[in-house]
Amino acid sequence: MSQIEFQLINDYFRHDSLAFARDGIELGIGDDAAVISVPEKKSLCMSMDVLVEGIHFPANADPFLIGQRCLAVNISDLAAMAAEPLCFTLGIALPRADRDWLEKFRDGLALVARRYNCPLVGGDTVAGSGTIAIQVQGLTRRGRSVTRAGARPGDVIYVTGTLGNGALALAAQEIEVQFDSAFAPRIELLSETDLAYLNTRFYSPEPRVEFALNACHLLHSAIDVSDGLAGDLAHILEASECGAIIEADLLPYAPALRRAASPAECLAAALYGGDDYELCVTVAEESAPELETIAAGLSLQLTRIGEINSSHKLLLRQDTGKLEPVRHRSYSHFQA
Amino acid sequence: MSQIEFQLINDYFRHDSLAFARDGIELGIGDDAAVISVPEKKSLCMSMDVLVEGIHFPANADPFLIGQRCLAVNISDLAAMAAEPLCFTLGIALPRADRDWLEKFRDGLALVARRYNCPLVGGDTVAGSGTIAIQVQGLTRRGRSVTRAGARPGDVIYVTGTLGNGALALAAQEIEVQFDSAFAPRIELLSETDLAYLNTRFYSPEPRVEFALNACHLLHSAIDVSDGLAGDLAHILEASECGAIIEADLLPYAPALRRAASPAECLAAALYGGDDYELCVTVAEESAPELETIAAGLSLQLTRIGEINSSHKLLLRQDTGKLEPVRHRSYSHFQA
């Protein structure tokens, strides 16, 4: 497959479903660079993720689902900054120019792009082994972005949705999950509905953009749960120079996970599993009621799971009341 | 090599030499996203390139030189928009976390980043096969970026520097150059100085940022010569809906190329070789003297090579006076 054909594929991504017009896009795909304008009172956020076939998604996965997932997990990083998605760029190295694969992949990207009004504005397609780099751009309040560094002692810690689904979804796909704690869920106990739910959570995560935009004036800090709550919360604690206690019996699990896994396994999946793409945020105690009202208004599950303190330690209160340190696993992806 | 170690490598790029502070960077590397501010009268340009080991650079090349080249070729895209470099992001998939390789690669990036005041602000490092995605961001005059689409009949066509060096540099590295025209330069005729010159041109191309910024008020259209003059000029003609005649005897070649190649081979290297990272620009006839004065002030070679017309054809006037159509090769990368 020559580079010339890949150049044609580059043009192929220049499709109305994906590279659509949007306010703020002065010049989209097709020149030496894209050009965007940033409103006066806004700043621009940008985040890049690289996903490798066989590591971040199974090599034989449906290309439509890969497209959905690749863009959604990037937009989740924007949600963690309370940024409104603006546009994205796509760099892709492919072993062959398989038009059927590319069309499905493009359609998966396009579905998420439309949902979040985040068109493709540029990129590069080359011959190589399956590697996908996506950079998302988003708009945030100028000089007032929500970062990992703003948590303060006394803040309440919340998470959206439920945790541990990423780990269970991988196990259900018979992909080995790499984290030290024992995790051998009984997949045979899951219903078809459970399996469909897990597949949706894994391949079509819902970046919590709307919640973050509505709540941004309350948030002291935020991160998305991509690597497991333990590692991601540890990033907040490190950046904010504080500590936290989280309550084991408050962590929210989906019914599917409760059915297939022991309580200890549920906890391990939430702390170390990752791939959940929920938000973990901290707010002042007095902001808690308003935050809960915002989530309720969006029909979004929001759970108070613990509190920030000045200890520089991340501790877990077990159901028994016993406090124990949580290992900081900052990254624990899986391998096929 | 686990993902955890790659996460450590991610942190390793967070080095003062590379991720330095700069006006406009509100939040650099290390959060869910970087945050930048764009001045009121500016727009933001962004361009992503993906480079694959063994295709875009030899697998055994010096990592310092790879780092230099990767960032410089991206900044060349900003020069083609007359944009001032602002910052870049780096996505990298690597088969192993080789610290010696990474340190040299980082130092090569850092040299170019400092020269163009373009710090690293984010990215992602994962396990995979050698693939490098770089996105550069730059600032341009709001709503007045220089694109490929502004050429007008009567415009004069100029190129900076000399052409064909990319193709000769590849041949000197014994990398097969893929373009149809015969190109078998006699490398044995090149001096050590010639070889050093070619190596520098290939691994340390000089994006023509300063020229573009000084000349942006004159430029009707611009592109950087990355794929060969024929293909790149064809992009301008297509976007601008016009044609051009270029004069074979005006094309500028470096002495090294003249020494090693026949006149026909020099022409083929310029038209189809690519990897030159010079600028091809068009300006109104009356702007030509001012453009030449700007280049002279920067001690930059600038050569008038032809003229835009309304024909929708790209023609070459041979030394004999004969006009012939130029094949439009839009992309012609090499393979090891």
Domain presence at residue B333: no
DSSP-derived letter for residue A311 is: S
- Are B174 and B306 in the same domain? yes
Domain presence at residue B332: no
Report chain B residues whose CB lies below 8 A from the CB of A5: none
* Domain C-terminal end among B85, B113, B141: B141
Q: What is the mean pLDDT of chain A?
A: 91
Taking each helix axis from N to C end, the angle separating A3-12 and A99-115, rounded to the nearest 10 degrees, works out to: 30
Rounded Cα distance between A222 and A308, Å, is 13
For residue B129, pLDDT over 90 is answered with no
Optimal mutation site among B125, B131, B137, interface A, most CBs of chain A within 10 A = B131
For residue B130, pLDDT over 80 is answered with yes
Q: Which residue from A128, A129, A332 is facing B3, i.e. has the nearest CB? A: A332
Domain presence at residue A147: no
Rounded Cα distance between A175 and A202, Å, is 13
For residue B243, pLDDT over 50 is answered with yes
- Are A137 and A192 in the same domain? no
Neighbours of B79 (CB within 10 A): 28
pLDDT of amino acid B336: 30
The answer to whether the beta carbons of residues B252 and B278 sit under 8 Å apart is no
Report chain B residues whose CB lies below 8 A from the CB of A131: 50, 93, 128-129, 131, 133
- Are A124 and A225 in the same domain? no
Q: What is the mean pLDDT of chain B?
A: 91
What whole-number percentage of chain B has pLDDT above 70?
A: 92
For residue B23, pLDDT over 80 is answered with yes
Using the beta-carbon criterion (under 8 Å), do A33 and B81 form an inter-chain contact?
A: yes
- Are A165 and A246 in the same domain? yes
Q: Which residue from B7, B27, B123 is facing A147, i.e. has the nearest CB? A: B27
The arithmetic mean of pLDDT across residues A257-279, rounded, is: 94
For residue A333, pLDDT over 50 is answered with no
- Are A101 and A237 in the same domain? no
* Domain C-terminal end among B75, B110, B141: B141
pLDDT of amino acid A332: 39
Q: What does pTM read for this prediction?
A: 0.93
The answer to whether the beta carbons of residues A332 and A227 sit under 8 Å apart is yes
State which amino acid sits at residue A74. N
Question: Of residues A60 and A211, which shows the higher confidence score?
Answer: A211
pLDDT band of A30, cuts 50, 70, 90: confident
Tens of pLDDT, residue by residue over B152-168, are 999 999 999 999 999 99
The encoded tokens of residue A249 equal 């019996």
Tens of pLDDT, residue by residue over A78-118, are 999 999 999 999 999 988 878 888 899 999 999 999 999 99
Closest approach of B118 to chain A, Cα-based (Å): 15
For residue A213, pLDDT over 90 is answered with yes
Q: Which residue from B3, B35, B147 is facing A45, i.e. has the nearest CB? A: B35
DSSP-derived letter for residue A269 is: I
CA-based max dimension of chain B: 64
The encoded tokens of residue B60 equal 């055994």
Q: Tell me the CB-side half-sphere exposure of residue B283, using CA atoms within 13 A.
A: 23
Least confident span in A74-83, A212-221, B168-177? B168-177
Integer Rg of chain B from CA? 20
Tens of pLDDT, residue by residue over B173-197, are 877 666 666 788 999 999 999 999 9
Sign for the pseudo-dihedral over CA of A108, A110, A115, A119: positive
- Are A123 and A179 in the same domain? no
Question: Of residues B56 and B318, which shows the higher confidence score?
Answer: B318
Rounded Cα distance between A82 and B150, Å, is 38
- Are B132 and B37 in the same domain? yes
Nearest CA in chain A to B232: A32
Report chain B residues whose CB lies below 8 A from the CB of A40: 40
Report chain B residues whose CB lies below 8 A from the CB of A2: 178
Rounded Cα distance between A150 and A220, Å, is 5
Q: Of B154, B121, B134, B111, which is closest to residue B51 (Cα–Cα)?
A: B134
Report chain A residues whose CB lies below 8 A from the CB of B36: 43-44, 46
Q: Which residue from A50, A90, A137 is facing B93, i.e. has the nearest CB? A: A50
Least confident span in A221-225, B59-63, B207-211, B226-230? B59-63
Burial class (CB in 10 A: 0-12, 13-18, 19+), A103: middle
For residue A329, pLDDT over 80 is answered with no
What whole-number percentage of chain A has pLDDT above 70?
A: 92
Closest approach of B258 to chain A, Cα-based (Å): 28
The arithmetic mean of pLDDT across residues B256-275, rounded, is: 93
What is the tally of structural domains in chain A?
A: 2
Using the beta-carbon criterion (under 8 Å), do B43 and A52 form an inter-chain contact?
A: no
Domain presence at residue B309: yes
Least confident span in A51-55, B32-36, B245-249, B262-266? A51-55
Using the beta-carbon criterion (under 8 Å), do B81 and A330 form an inter-chain contact?
A: no
Tens of pLDDT, residue by residue over B70-118, are 999 999 999 999 999 999 999 999 888 788 888 999 999 999 999 999 9
* Domain C-terminal end among B92, B107, B141: B141
Report chain B residues whose CB lies below 8 A from the CB of A77: 32-33
Domain presence at residue B215: yes
Q: Of A44, A114, A125, A120, which is closest to residue A78 (Cα–Cα)?
A: A44
Domain presence at residue B207: yes
Helix (H) or strand (E) holding B311, with range, is none
Q: Cα angle vertex A103, ends A97, A109, to 5°?
A: 115
Rounded Cα distance between A35 and A284, Å, is 39
For residue B323, pLDDT over 80 is answered with yes
- Are A212 and A238 in the same domain? yes
Tens of pLDDT, residue by residue over A114-139, are 999 999 999 998 888 889 999 999 99
For residue B1, pLDDT over 60 is answered with no
Report chain A residues whose CB lies below 8 A from the CB of B38: 37-38, 43-44
Report chain A residues whose CB lies below 8 A from the CB of B34: 45-47
Domain presence at residue B330: no
pLDDT of amino acid A331: 42
Question: Of residues B177 and A36, which shows the higher confidence score?
Answer: A36
- Are B126 and B168 in the same domain? no
* For chain A, the helix, strand and coil percentages under 3-state DSSP, each to the nearest 5: 35, 25, 40
The arithmetic mean of pLDDT across residues A287-307, rounded, is: 98
- Are B41 and B169 in the same domain? no
Sign for the pseudo-dihedral over CA of B293, B299, B303, B309: negative
- Are A114 and A175 in the same domain? no
State which amino acid sits at residue B237. L
For residue A274, pLDDT over 90 is answered with no
pLDDT band of B330, cuts 50, 70, 90: very low
The answer to whether the beta carbons of residues A78 and B122 sit under 8 Å apart is no
Optimal mutation site among A51, A88, A131, A225, interface B, most CBs of chain B within 10 A = A131
The answer to whether the beta carbons of residues A273 and A177 sit under 8 Å apart is yes
Domain presence at residue B230: yes
CATH number at residue A117: 3.30.1330.10
Residue span of the structural domain in which A41 resides: 3-141
- Are A124 and A161 in the same domain? no
